[in-house]
Each structure stands twice: as structure tokens, then as C-alpha cells.
A and B are shown apart, each in its own frame.
Chain A
Amino acid sequence: MIVYTIKRIFVAFLILLVVSGLTFSLSHLSADPALTIAGEQASDEDIEAVRKLYGFDKPVVEQYFNWLSSALQGDLGKSYHYKAPVVEMISGRIGTTMTLGFLAILFALVVSIPLGTIAAMRPNSIIDRFALLLAVFGQALPTFWFALMMIILFGVWLRWLPISGNTSWAHFVMPTIALGYYATPALMRLTRAGMIEVLSSDYIRTAKAKGLLPVSVLFKHALRNAIIPVVALAAVWFGFMLGGSIVIETIFNLKGIGWLSYDALLRSDLPVVQAIVLIFASFYVILTLFADLLNAYLDPRISVR
């Protein structure tokens, strides 16, 4: 287990290095940061001066290593537009995004695991059909459309929930549902498929032959094995949730880093974009790592391979 953990952590670092290198070079190819900083009306000499000052005239590889070495020391540079340190801008907002992502995946799990389990216990029953219907809708509806419909219904007509801002828990209700609902179908189908397979396995028959009550057959012996792949998928979806927060945060005006990245992209604010991409990528990598380790813990056979 320890060797396995170390191996996985090493691979995770490699992936992060590659991702950061790629975003750095791509973003420097796609926009000229000197132009953004100097402004539209700047003369050629001014732009050239800015280029020298910020080191944009140096080769991209060298710039990358400069950026990387300061990033490793916790300095992600300054925003070109707001002139504030990127670290401060992000740390002030990341809480909002994490809260939203966490609530969304929690919502998705709380809905999909019981629904998938019930559907698996009685395949083709009314509950199973209902769950399938829900899944089809979830997969077919675009998130932004769903979010707007909720705003119209609960925010404008019924006036139950606030539609913009992040000052109270009530502000998180609609964004959580909008974002989490998107992950529900996949998690539910996987729970259902896993449960159906596990329920027909030999060790479930053994558990029944021991005289165990249906509750422990279902929740101890079956669910534990059926949710192993669900856990992995949920971790990946948590990553999607953070990425998906760009749309949702913009719609609901929740000022997290999703909103910030949208803002920074519009302004070609490269240090902010880079930092956010790095952060999202790190989340992804860490979450996948976490999912693998959790899987190894839940299914003792995995770490042996």
C-alpha cells in the first residue's frame, strides 16, 4: 500500500508539471501580454519597453522556468489588470468555489446512490423507470438552461430564493442543484449497474446463507462493493464541478474563482488564467489520486496489482 501510494504521488507530480508547461506555452502563444498591459493606444516603443520590463522578450522556456520557480515559492505573480498579487485574489475567492463544488457533488451523491440502489433492487419497476427518466433529462438538459429555468421559477415567480450573490447559504441552493443535477445521472446509472451485478454474485448468496438480515446484506455486503467505481467517478465529477462552476458562478454571480477565470479570460489577464488553470489541474490530479487511494482502501485487491 505504501509503495503504491508513493508511485501514484510521483505520477501525479509529473502530470502537473506537463499541464503547467502546456498552459504556459499555449497562453503565451494565443495572446500578446505586453499589448494588454500597455493598453490599446500605446506606442510601439512603450510596448517594447513593457516587453523588456516583464521579460516577454526572453524565450518561452526561460519564462516558464522563471514562473515555475517563483510558483514553487508560492508567488504566482501579479494580475496585469488589477495589479494585485494573484495568490491573494484567488485565496479570497476559492472558498466560494470549493463550497459550491462540494455541495454540488454531495447533492449528486445523496440523490444518485439511494436512487440507483432502489432501482437495482427492483429492475424495471416504476422506481427504476422514474430514475431512468431523471437520468435522461439530466443528460439532455444544458446546465445553463436548467439554471435559468430555476431562476425564473424559484427566483422570479415564486421568490423563494435569491438569484445573485453569495452572502448567505440560501444563495447556494440553486447553484448547487443546477451544478449537482448534471452529475446525478452518471453516478446513478453506475450505482444501479454496480448493484445489479453485485447482488447476483456468490458472496451475496453466502451472506444470505449466513442468515444476515436484508439490511446488512444490502448495505454492508453489496453497497460497499458496488460503490467502488462510483467513488472514483464522483472524484472525477468533483473536478468537473469545479470546472463547471465557471458557467454557474457567472450565471448566479457567485464570485468564486470560476467567475474570476471568466473575468480574467475576457481581459487576457494571463497570470490569473495560468494560476487558475494550475489550481483546477491540481484539484483534478489530487482528486484522482485520492479516488485511487480510496479505492485501494475499499477494495484491498487493487493495491496488489
Chain B
Amino acid sequence: MDKNEVVLEVKNLSIDIPVSQGVLHAVDKVNLHVDRGEILCVVGESGCGKSLTSLAIMGLLPKNAQRSAEMLELKQEDLQKLTERQLSDIRGNRMAMIFQEPMTSLNPSFTIENQLLEPLFRHRGLSKHDARSLVIEMLELVGIKPAEPRLRQYPHQLSGGLRQRVMIAMSLLCNPDLIIADEPTTALDVTIQAQILELMMGLREKFKTGILFITHDMGVVANIADRVAVMYAGQIVEEGPVAEIFDNPAHPYTRGLMSCIPVPGKVDRDSALGTIPGMVPSIVNEFQSCRFAGRWDENYEENFTPCNLTEVSTEKRSFKVNSNKNHLVHFCCDQCLDQSQHTLTEGRWLCRTQ
């Protein structure tokens, strides 16, 4: 892979938040990368640390959260070295973010035009006339036609779907290398959701932007992802190309997520949809026992298809799945690894289990 094609590279990103009972390790040694023109979906249930991860990349974490990372680079530029001022030159310019809450993410006191012109004045220094025509062009591109009358409107005069489109247009204005979309469709209804997803895929084609797309919906993942990272309790448990993840899920948690999506034709009308039992464990202070205790699906063995695992890192219990170097699975403890019943073909673990 050409180095220039990597837009975002994150290594061992951790986020700690002091809370009354101790320290919350909300995000724990996460590795990610996004390539040019690629959509990476980070998927996981509510509270697993998806939003914090994206805010950490933008440098917009809440004041009490502490970030540490071995590497945090946007197009090979180290974001951790930058001053707050230099970082603000990059935000909204070379990396932009679309938030989870379209209803409250726009300032109620200013017109759409006013808020859309800002990034262009800040980063491009355009004249009002040029900036305005670019804004109109972007709004039409995201499907707000005619755009002109919308410019004078205030956010409360637009529906949620339109506001999210405005947010998307805003993120595109300076033609960023990376867009972080934090559950951009969660607050919208299904038809609007489909339109927005289509729009984002179109934009990816057109601008070759790298997109970090955060969601908790496997259906959305199936639609738009090139690659997937499955996140659980602050860690990434499995990552790989979307087809691999759906065809050969190796981590029991990934399988659990998959059983929660209804697939037309495959699921009997009468049979219940899958669920993952239990709740996300509290991740305050050091973690002693297994993160998945009580969360194994009872029918796990029935639906089981074994994969071949090849060890890549002993420290993190990381394995290649079916010898595909892009498809990795990580286990939190030996118990999980044993219980998952995969065939181990190489490495230290092989000796141990036999």
C-alpha cells in the first residue's frame, strides 16, 4: 500500500476519564487507519467509546478526558505535536466532522448562510461573493435544491434530514482529506437515512475523501463500508474488509452483532431476532476478569463455523483470520480464545492448547 494513500493513522489511542469511582478507560489501545477514498466503519454498541474516539482525533475531547497515543497522524502529519492554534487551522479544513445530533449541532441564532460561510472565510479567505456561490454549489450537491432560498433560513426552519445535509455540506466545503461521521443517520428516519448513506457514498467517489463512519447498525455497515472495525468496551475486537467480516466473522461478539440484523429470505418469519445477552461491563479501573463474561450467546456452538487463526501478536492475542493479513481478530483473555473454538494453525497459542 502506498504510504501517501493513508489519510489517517492511529496507533494505541487510549482515553482515560477520571470518574468518582476511579478512572474510566473509555478507549483502550485502539488502532485504526483510513485510506484515501475509503469508508471505514467503526461499529459497536452504545457507550463503547465510538464518539470519544472520533472527538480524540479531532482534538475536541471534553476537558476532563485524557488522551494518549503512540501515533496520531493525518496524512503523515503528527497531530499530537500541533498547538491548539495550528490544530484549528486543520479542523474544518483538512479534517471535518459530522455529528450524531443534527437537531442541535447548528447554532439557532444564525442563518444557514452565515454558518456555512464561516469555514470558507476562516480557511480560504474567499470574498463573500465567491464563498456564497461555493456554498450554493455544495448545498445543491448534497441534494438541497434550490439552495438559494434555504440560505436565509434558520436551523429551526429545517427538518432533521435537511439539517444533517447542511452539516454534510459544511464538512465538504474545504474539500477535506478526512471526514469523521459520528452516527450521522441515527437520529433520522429510515428513508432519509438511506438517502444520506447514498449521498455519502457518492461523495466518497467524487472527492476520494477518506471517511471514518461510526455507527451501531450492522445494516448500515453492510451498505456502505469498505472495511469494518468492531468495537467493544473501548477496544477493537475484530477488523477487516466488509465481505470478510460478514462471511467469516471470527469473534463471537461480531457474530452476535450479525445475528441481530434481519436478512430477508434467511430468517424465518416466526423466529426471534438474535440478541446479545447481558450488558457492556463497567470499564472503570483495571480490568481483571473477561470483558465478555455473561455475554456469550447460548446458541453459539450451534451456529459455529470454525476459522483458521494465525497469531500475529502475543501481547494483544491478535490473530489473522484464514491467513488474510487484513482480517484480524483480538481476544481479551485466554478463556475467550478457548471458548471461541477456532482452529489455531500457527504460533505460541497452538502449542498451549494442544
- Is B154 a contact partner of A211 (Cβ separation < 8 A)? no
With an 8 Å Cβ cutoff, the count of chain A residues facing the other chain is 21
Min CB distance B274 to A, Å, is 33
Whether a CB of chain B sits under 8 angstroms from the CB of A207 is yes
CA of A298 to CA of B104 in the docked complex: distance in angstroms? Answer: 17
Interfacial chain B residues near A8, Cβ < 8 Å: none
Interfacial chain A residues near B97, Cβ < 8 Å: 209
- Is A210 a contact partner of B170 (Cβ separation < 8 A)? yes
Give the interface SS of chain A, mostly helix, strand, loop or mixed. helix
Whether a CB of chain A sits under 8 angstroms from the CB of B252 is no
Whether a CB of chain A sits under 8 angstroms from the CB of B106 is yes
CB < 8 Å: which of A202, A209, A212, A299 contacts B101?
A: A202
- Is A210 a contact partner of B118 (Cβ separation < 8 A)? yes
Min CB distance A44 to B, Å, is 68
- Is B60 a contact partner of A211 (Cβ separation < 8 A)? no
Q: Which residue of A lies closest to B114 (CB)?
A: A220
Whether a CB of chain B sits under 8 angstroms from the CB of A208 is yes
Min CB distance B106 to A, Å, is 6
- Is B101 a contact partner of A210 (Cβ separation < 8 A)? no
Whether a CB of chain A sits under 8 angstroms from the CB of B96 is yes
Whether a CB of chain A sits under 8 angstroms from the CB of B123 is yes
Whether a CB of chain A sits under 8 angstroms from the CB of B205 is no
CB < 8 Å: which of B91, B101, B104, B108 contacts A208?
A: B91
- Is A212 a contact partner of B99 (Cβ separation < 8 A)? no
- Is A304 a contact partner of B156 (Cβ separation < 8 A)? yes
Interfacial chain B residues near A129, Cβ < 8 Å: none
Min CB distance A24 to B, Å, is 43
Q: How many A-B residue pairs have C-beta atoms within 8 angstroms? Tell me.
A: 73
Indicate with 1 or 0, residue by residue over A227-242, a CB within 8 angstroms of chain B CB atoms. Answer: 0000000000000000
- Is B96 a contact partner of A225 (Cβ separation < 8 A)? no
- Is A203 a contact partner of B91 (Cβ separation < 8 A)? no
CB < 8 Å: which of B85, B88, B92, B108 contacts A301?
A: B108
A197-231 contacts to B, CB under 8 A, are 201-203, 205-213, 216, 221, 224-225
Given contacts A211-B89, A212-B122, contact A202 B108 (CB under 8 A): no
Interfacial chain A residues near B110, Cβ < 8 Å: 221, 224
Whether a CB of chain B sits under 8 angstroms from the CB of A74 is no
Min CB distance B119 to A, Å, is 5
Whether a CB of chain A sits under 8 angstroms from the CB of B58 is yes
- Is A299 a contact partner of B92 (Cβ separation < 8 A)? no
Min CB distance A227 to B, Å, is 10
Whether a CB of chain B sits under 8 angstroms from the CB of A59 is no
Interfacial chain B residues near A206, Cβ < 8 Å: 99, 105-107, 167
CB < 8 Å: which of A211, A212, A216, A224 contacts B109?
A: A224
Interfacial chain A residues near B88, Cβ < 8 Å: 208, 211-213
With an 8 Å Cβ cutoff, the count of chain B residues facing the other chain is 28
- Is A203 a contact partner of B105 (Cβ separation < 8 A)? yes
- Is A225 a contact partner of B108 (Cβ separation < 8 A)? yes
Interfacial chain A residues near B220, Cβ < 8 Å: none
- Is A202 a contact partner of B104 (Cβ separation < 8 A)? yes
Min CB distance B254 to A, Å, is 31
Whether a CB of chain A sits under 8 angstroms from the CB of B90 is yes
- Is A203 a contact partner of B156 (Cβ separation < 8 A)? no
CA of A68 to CA of B110 in the docked complex: distance in angstroms? Answer: 45
CA of A216 to CA of B121 in the docked complex: distance in angstroms? Answer: 12
Given contacts A208-B91, A300-B109, contact A202 B99 (CB under 8 A): yes
- Is B118 a contact partner of A299 (Cβ separation < 8 A)? no
B146-189 contacts to A, CB under 8 A, are 154, 156, 167, 170
Given contacts A203-B106, A304-B156, contact A210 B99 (CB under 8 A): no
- Is B90 a contact partner of A202 (Cβ separation < 8 A)? no
CB < 8 Å: which of B58, B104, B109, B167 contacts A299?
A: B109
Could you show 21 A-B contacts with beta carbons less than 8 Å apart?
A202-B105, A203-B104, A205-B99, A206-B105, A206-B167, A208-B60, A208-B91, A209-B91, A209-B96, A211-B88, A211-B89, A211-B123, A212-B92, A213-B85, A213-B88, A224-B107, A224-B109, A225-B109, A298-B109, A299-B109, A301-B108
User: Which B residues lie at the A interface, using CB under 8 A?
Assistant: 58, 60, 85, 88-93, 96-97, 99, 101, 104-110, 118-119, 122-123, 154, 156, 167, 170
Q: A207-B118, A209-B60, A211-B93 are in contact. List 16 more A-B contacts (CB 8 A).
A: A202-B101, A202-B105, A203-B108, A206-B99, A206-B107, A208-B91, A209-B58, A209-B92, A210-B122, A211-B92, A212-B92, A212-B122, A213-B88, A224-B107, A224-B110, A301-B156
